[in-house]
Each structure stands twice: as C-alpha cells, then as structure tokens.
Amino acid sequence: MTVAPIRRNILALTASRIREVTLAARGIDDLIALWFGEGDEVTPSFIRDAAVEALARGETFYGPNRGTPELRAAIQRYLRRTYGAEIDLDRIVVTASGMNALMISVQCLVGHGDSAVVIGPVWPNAENAIAAMGAEVRKVELEPQPDGAWRLDLERVIDACDATTKLIIVNSPGNPTGWMASEAELRALLAHARARGIWILSDEVYGRITYGVPHAPSFVTLAEPGDAVVVVNSFSKTWSMTGWRLGWIVAPPELTVVFEKMTEFNVSHATTFAQAGGVAALDQGDAYVAGLVKRYAEAAELVYERLSPLPRVRIPKPHSAFYAFFRVDGMTDSFAYAVELMHRAKVGLAPGAAFGPAGEGHLRLCFAASLSKLSRALDRLVPALG
Ligand SMILES: Cc1ncc(COP(=O)(O)O)c(C=O)c1O
C-alpha cells in the first residue's frame, strides 16, 4: 500500500511522557494517581445546573464564533471585579479550552522560518503547537535556586530573541514549577517585547490558584489595549471544569478579528450550552473559588511538611498553581524513577523530563486532591523517597 505523506514536523511531535508513564501503570491495583493536572472534584452544581437549564431551553444550535454575548459580558465583568481591569468586549474571544486558545494564537502568530521563545520548564503543549506550525522553539529555562525555587533571567530571554522571533510564551503561575512572575518581571518582558515588536503569549490558566494573594500579576492589567499581548485563560482549573473545554482570550481588537476567523476553521465556537455554565461560574463562583484555593493551600502545606524533611528531596514551598515540583538527589532518569515509584509505592507521579531537559531530576505531584487521599499517598511516598 502506498501511504501518502504526512507533514514531517507533525510526525516528529512526541506524545506526552506523562501519558507514557500512565500506560505503564496497567495492572497495578490500588494506585494513587497524582500525575495529571486536574482536581478530583466534580464541577460544582450551580455551574452544572446552568448548563442543564440551557439544554432544557434548547440551546443546542450554532452560535457566534467569538462566543455568546452573555459569556463575553460575564468575562468582562469578572475581569473588572477581580483584576480591576476595564477590557472592551472587542478584545474578548471565548475558546474551546485553554489549549484551543494557545493553538489558535500560535496558528495566527508563527509559521515556517519564525522562532518563538518559550520560558520553561513548562507544560509542553504550547511548544508542540509551535513545532506543529513549523516554527523553531527556543527554550529559555528558569534557573533552579538552592532552595528549590526557580528564577527568571530576563537577559537570557532577550538574548534568545532575534529578527526571526515573533512570540515569547510565558506561563505564570507555571506548570510544573509553580514559579510566579513578579509584576516587575512582566513589565520588563512587556518593555522588551514592545521595543522589539514581538508578541507575548501569556498563559494565565493558574492565575487565581495563588496562596496568600488574590491573584497572580497579570497582563490583563499591565498591557494597553493596543499592545501585542495575548492573555489565555481557562475554566478548567479555577472552576474545576476540565472536561467542559472552555476558555477565553484577551487580545488587541485587530487580533481578535483574526482569532474569530481561525475559531471558525478549528471548532466554529465553544459548545453553546457549556458557555451557559461558564456564565454561572464567573458570575456566581467567587465563594467556590475561595473555598477551592483554601483547600489547595492546605494540601500544599501538607505536601511540603511531609516531603521537605527528606534528605534527598529539595522542594520549594508552593505559592501558586497546584503542583509540588521537587528535586530528588541522585535521580538521573525521572521517567524510569516514576515507573519504579509506581510499582514500589503505588503512587503515580509525573516525570520532570516530561517538561523538558531542565525538568530532569524532578518529579511533579499534583496536590489538587482531597487531604485524605494525599495523606495516604504521602504515607507511601515518604519511605520510598527516604
Ligand atoms: C500551563 C497550562 N496551560 C494550559 C492548560 C490547558 O488547560 P485546558 O485546555 O484544560 O483549558 C493547562 C492544562 O493542564 C496547563 O497546565
């Protein structure tokens, strides 16, 4: 049989190494899986009910590419209330998830011959989107500090940019590191991007999962309407809606018109009745989010208390997102070690290497789980890592 060619850069994309570990888990009974980036709570009922009511009203038809007017207005209200940001409706586009928002942004902003600078270690999907478009990924790694925290060297980001660079991707708060850029760092990135005419793609899906402050510094408040800045957000993490596939973009009006077109060619628009759930999440969800973040803060404390005394482990105290990303001294192959831990301790963790070479030597534990489940997992992990 003659097989017609498939684009080479698509074939070269690697599958997720986290999924690879999970495949190796088949047949292990009583495994506690903390490898994926999602909470273990069902979406709260006030959000589910709003979608059910939309279905009952017959909201099953095509809608606008940019999202329903109701959801776009709710996003505008949410950004005003939470960030004090006044964002015109023509800067808001609803997407079918944060990932869809990243992909559409990358499709519109980079192509063959272009390069994009990605600050890592980071969840690898955005750089895979860049590679899928045939552009070059230039990774600038955060620098590990002696206490296990991560630091951005802005000069290295600047040095990585040249005439081919169209985009800088920053994910703060970051998956897997929990690194949170300061407002000064975001301002410095913006000044650099403005001076060089480079887009910033800011992935802020963990922007509300912060411990001690109401939200992470955001380009929503720092960028002017005409700045070449795209802010991506998602309902997945903050409102426990991973399966809904719903997110949004804030961008300059000139770009949202183009996003609207690309949305038509990707998914046409986010699911109509899911968007009704999104309105409820934004308009009625503040108490829910506060409770969720409080619980995650307790979980972060528990994981830190149990793992930080271990002599081989270097773990920073998590201040944002819902991951413990810790170094294990002497571990050189995080993939093999994660598989070994799965068999020995019956706990599933993500290998640091899944987030690029700078993640090697680390493991990622998602603590968005009940405290009882986490305690059981830690009872197994502590002796195994000791
Ligand atoms: C950093 C980061 N960005 C974006 C996403 C995408 O989220 P979703 O596509 O569920 O909205 C994730 C999900 O894990 C993430 O960790």
pLDDT tens per residue across span 38-96: 999 999 999 999 999 999 999 999 999 999 999 999 999 999 999 999 999 999 999 99
What pLDDT band is residue 373 in, cutting at 50, 70 and 90?
very high
The pLDDT, as a whole number, for residue 318 is 95
Region 157-181: mean pLDDT is: 98
Q: Is pLDDT of 1 > 60?
A: no
Gap from CA of 104 to ligand 1 centroid (Å) = 14
- Nearest-CA residue for ligand 1 atom 8 is 98
Q: Which two tokens stand for residue 226?
A: 């005409």
Gap from CA of 99 to ligand 1 centroid (Å) = 6
The preferred substitution site among 125, 169, 179, 208 for testing ligand 1, maximizing ligand atoms within 8 Å of CB, is 125
Q: Which atom of ligand 1 is nearest to the CA of 38?
A: 14
Q: Is the CB of 175 under 6 A from ligand 1?
A: yes
pLDDT digit string, tens, across residues 201-250: 999 999 999 999 999 999 999 999 999 999 999 999 999 999 999 999 99
What pLDDT band is residue 2 in, cutting at 50, 70 and 90?
low
- Give the 3-state secondary structure percentages of the chain, helix then strand then coil, rounded to 5: 45, 15, 40
Contact 244, 46 (CB under 8 A): no
Q: Which atom of ligand 1 is nearest to the CA of 100?
A: 9
- Nearest-CA residue for ligand 1 atom 7 is 98
The model carries a pTM of: 0.97
Region 163-185: mean pLDDT is: 98
Q: Which atom of ligand 1 is nearest to the CA of 97?
A: 11
Region 244-269: mean pLDDT is: 97
Mean pLDDT (the chain, rounded): 96
Q: Which atom of ligand 1 is nearest to the CA of 99?
A: 9
Residues near 237 by beta carbon (within 8 Å), at least 6 away in sequence? 37, 38, 39, 205, 206, 208, 209, 322, 368
Q: Is the CB of 120 under 6 A from ligand 1?
A: no
Contact 175, 123 (CB under 8 A): yes
Gap from CA of 126 to ligand 1 centroid (Å) = 9
What span, in angstroms and rounded, lies between the C-alpha atoms of 66 and 353?
A: 36
Gap from CA of 75 to ligand 1 centroid (Å) = 18
Q: Is pLDDT of 311 > 70?
A: yes
Residues near 364 by beta carbon (within 8 Å), at least 6 away in sequence? 35, 176, 323, 324, 325, 349, 350, 351, 352, 354, 355
